[in-house]
Chains A and B, each alone.
Chain A
Amino acid sequence: MSTEAAPLDGPVTPADTSPIVELAGLSVGYHQRGRTTLAVEEVDLAIAPGETVAVVGESGSGKTTTANAILGLLPSSGVITAGRIRIAGTDVTGAPDRVLRTFRGNVIGLVPQDPMVGLNPTMRIGGQIAEVVRRRGVDKRLVGAEVIEALERAGVDQPAVRARQYPNALSGGLRQRVLIAIAIAGHPRLIVADEPTSALDVTVQRRILDHLGGLVAETGASLLIITHDLGVAADRADRVVVMQRGRIVEQGEPAAILLRPREPYTRHLIAAAPALSHAGGVVPHFTDVTPAPEVLRLDGIGKDFRLPRTAGGERTFRALDDVTLSVRAGQTLGLVGESGSGKTTALRIAMGLEKPTQGRVHLDGVDITDAGWSQLRPLRRRFQLVHQNPYSSLDPRFTVAQTIAEPLVSFRVGDRASRAARVRELLDQVALPAAFADRKPAELSGGQRQRVAIARALALEPELVFLDEPVSALDVSVQEQILTLLLRLQADLGVGYLFISHDLAVVAQLAHHVAVLRGGRIVESGPAETILTAPAEEHTRELLGAVPGQRFAAELAAAPAAASHQTRQKGSGR
């Protein structure tokens, strides 16, 4: 194979049009206790040189299994039960690792899912890239230069400095870029990006994907994007492949998929992507906001964190600066910002979990700024918190019923029987079957766990629920279900939300008021409609532009028929 030269020397020659990867009738199963469960069934997929293909599906749809099969990285329980995999014309079905290894890195490069665990924490960045470069047989003296070049091409600033740093010194976005650098350092003909940006902010996501797309166009390599977000797929790909339960249900050009989806499942995915469901734009759910009394008010909040002592450096870090927010009864305030903008700090101060350096916190007109935990405790019944990550916010040893009933037990509300009844009622409110009461969190999916966490927050009938990125750890389609649930609960129970998110499209579905936070300061705040449709600040426009799924906004808007049934579905609420 001429893997050395092909990708870098400009566009691929027209003669070389045979697919890099070809899957024919591929079925992959997992052995478990003598049974084989099929995770991928009869998948046909060919990726031509220079093509960008996106595989879209929910968790468990087999998209990652497909990618792993291509890379030969199936776990030991995974077996190819039928079909063929050809890489660069060679049949590698069931080939031993020794053979597959010759393709990895040089023919196929992988950008793994989670930048936080994808790098070796004990090795310098440069060393990790050098491993891949050396495998190409590059002369020892040239490896260093190639490493710097790979970092540069992946869009890492100060590549020479970064190469000598360890992963812990880098932010999530930078780590993702380093992973891309590792992938491209092998000069692969195909880059497989497995949910490359799911763990990142929307703005970082856009920058990374822009860059990846640019690299692919520049080198003529192919790109296989695995994602759960049809918006991302449609924005980036030449061809979108929709997978459901291990099968390809639909594929085609993104515009065709979006404008004329044939399968109900595809329509479901379109409805789930916040921007796609509104014809490629961010449309606020609540357009006219009725005045409501104020429940929570943050008044000129400032928060300084002490930094570790460094010579000549700043002694404190200002996380929040003169932040004023108010949450109104029965309404939602969406607090938007990138990571590090101070939105979680603001929430923790509002919850009384942190003390502000300056400013006051008022709950229903009562100043709670200096209240200790025991003074605050009676007030806890009136405001509750839903955490970001449902995988760690539930005690693994508690059953669902115990978890939901815990606040009731803590406040000695009711007796055993009335608590059990309340748990059933709450399970019903969050649309979980009553039989779930006996289950442990390990038996639940992410969406179900978040429903349990919401039920726990509602147990004490609070006036105000704090939602700390409650959907950012979930699939797009599960996100949409949770958001719908939150809307319904607000309509039914009249509870107010302080909703924190990095994604304006998510906030748009829920918020009456929006405040945009950047670097600890409020950039812009006001009614959702004003902020989302007529933003005054550049940063807000940037956040709006980063929402995936806007590539075909014009076409979608021009063909309202395709999207109309979605809006009808979403027309519930006020």
Chain B
Amino acid sequence: MPDKILSPKSDRGPDLVAAPEQRAAEARAAAPAAGAPPITPVAVATDLAAAGGAAASTVTAAPAPEPAPAPAVGDAGVDGENRRRRDDLFAAAGPLLRRPGFVLAALFVAFVIVSGLLPSLFTSYKPSATSPTDKLKGPSLDHLFGTDELGRDLFSRVLHGSTLTIKATGGAVLIAIVAGLAIGVVAGFFGGWVDSVLMRIIDILLAIPMLLMALVIVTALGFGLLPIAIAVGVTITPTFARTTRAEVLRVKEQPYVEAARTGGASWGRVLARHILPNSWGPVSVLAVLDFGTAVLTISSLSFLGFGTPPPAAEWGTLISNGRNFLITSPWLSLLPGLFVGLVVFSLNHIARTLEEMQR
């Protein structure tokens, strides 16, 4: 949890976390990089290693409990900052790359996004090109996912369907982030009756089943990409608002916010520089997680016939069409279904990994 990072004293064992300076001093005495103490949060550990290294390069004084003032090494400069950023990036990416599950999930999601935006890279078939002689063929090297009742290549239709789903998902999550963040920040920040009113509205939204609400909105707005994005966006906004509010409430009470205020910072500055960046972590995890939810909801809507009208192929529409041939040609429903399932699973896995990283 983030709290732990803020107050390592509260942890057991971190007698050592609490005192990188002594560790660094030891490191200086022995070997510069040997100062990595037994802490699990990797970011801290690498930071410490960096601290050890930096200290070794700048502090030449004899090891002391608190480093004596060392000769200034001048301006750290832009170069140093860039190098530092790069190191930070590597430090963050390293442990992620060591998780094969995460890498697979990320690669798959990347493939879906690229193929959705540029489907012609991965398939030579047109999604709407019919070929009566090849109808209802099983999966083969020619047609990876087989063909449907009109002889259209299913793989191509799935990839072209990605385009619509990805756009709708992106739009939905964007709406949810913007609206949820705004509501959450306002509620958490101002508190009082503003908070009460906003949160009761959110409670009402949460009480309505997600799919039902999406259906109602789509019916009201009409079919098409934008209405679906709005409908799904509105249904996932409440969780964003709640999470953001909780985080803002937590961060608002941190002494460093008070320190910034007593340092003369305006509330706007405190909000932009302290509260939002420090609240962002859990919200970003939720965003990835909600991509999966949005994909599912959008597919459900198109499955029920509320998606973009035919002949455009959406994932839900494909699954729905295949139902008529479930006994004779099961791949028509199962393969697109599996594809959607894998996308959602991958997104959830990525979100979960990111969440674990933040602890």
Contacts and interface: CB of A to CB of B under 8 A. Distances in A.
Interface string A410-443: 1100000000100010001001111101111011
B337 interface: no
A30 B26 CA distance: 14
B86 interface: no
A37 B34 contact: yes
Interface of A: 30-33, 35, 37, 39, 58-61, 63-65, 68, 75, 77-78, 112-114, 116-117, 245, 268, 351, 353, 373, 377, 380-381, 384-385, 387-389, 391-397, 406-407, 409-411, 420, 424, 428, 431-435, 437-440, 442-448, 453, 456, 459-460, 473, 475, 477-478, 481
A478 B20 CA distance: 13
A410 B269 contact: yes
Given A380-B263, A435-B58, A447-B21, A393 B256 contact: yes
Overall SS of chain B's interface? helix
B69 A395 contact: no
Contact of A58 (B22, B55, B255): B22
A435 B65 contact: no
B66 interface: yes
Given A381-B264, A395-B260, A442-B5, A434 B15 contact: no
A447 B66 contact: yes
A435 B72 CA distance: 7
B133 interface: no
Interface residues of B, number: 68
A432 B51 CA distance: 13
Given A37-B34, A245-B26, A393-B255, A75 B13 contact: yes
B254 interface: yes
Contacts, number: 195
Given A406-B260, A437-B76, 15 more contacts: A30-B16, A32-B37, A35-B34, A64-B13, A77-B40, A385-B259, A387-B255, A392-B255, A395-B256, A438-B81, A443-B47, A445-B19, A445-B22, A445-B66, A460-B264
B289 to A, nearest CB: 23
B20 A443 contact: yes
Contacts of A351: 262
Given A431-B69, A477-B65, A411 B264 contact: yes
B65 A478 contact: yes
B22 A60 contact: yes
A246 to B, nearest CB: 9
A384 B38 contact: no
Interface in B22-61: 22-23, 26, 29, 34-40, 43-45, 47-48, 50-51, 54-55, 57-59
A549 B180 CA distance: 56
Given A37-B38, A392-B6, A392-B255, A428 B47 contact: no
Nearest to A468: B255
A20 B245 CA distance: 54
A439 B20 CA distance: 12
B7 interface: yes
Contact of B278 (A39, A396, A443, A460): A396
A353 B258 CA distance: 9
A271 B5 CA distance: 32
8 smallest A-B Cβ distances: which pairs?
A30-B38, A445-B21, A60-B22, A407-B263, A434-B72, A59-B19, A410-B264, A433-B70
A100 B39 CA distance: 24
15 contacts: A39-B16, A60-B16, A78-B38, A389-B255, A391-B7, A395-B256, A396-B5, A431-B66, A431-B69, A434-B73, A435-B54, A435-B76, A445-B20, A446-B9, A478-B65
Q: Which of A434, A459, A478 has the most CB of B within 10 A?
A: A434
Contacts of A78: 38
A444 B266 CA distance: 27
Contacts of B68: 431
B10 interface: yes
B139 interface: no
Contact of A420 (B44, B57, B75, B273): B75
Given A433-B58, A456-B263, A397 B277 contact: yes
Nearest to B253: A392
Interface string B1-18: 000011111101101101
Nearest to A406: B263
Contacts of A58: 19, 22, 65
Nearest to A68: B13
A407 B23 CA distance: 31
A481 to B, nearest CB: 5
B18 A445 contact: yes
Given A392-B255, A395-B278, A410 B72 contact: no
A446 B44 contact: no
A380 B18 CA distance: 31
B7 A59 contact: no
A443 B48 contact: yes
Given A58-B22, A60-B26, A438-B84, A428 B72 contact: yes
B118 interface: no
B144 interface: no
Contacts of A395: 254, 256, 260, 273-274, 278
B311 interface: no
A536 to B, nearest CB: 35
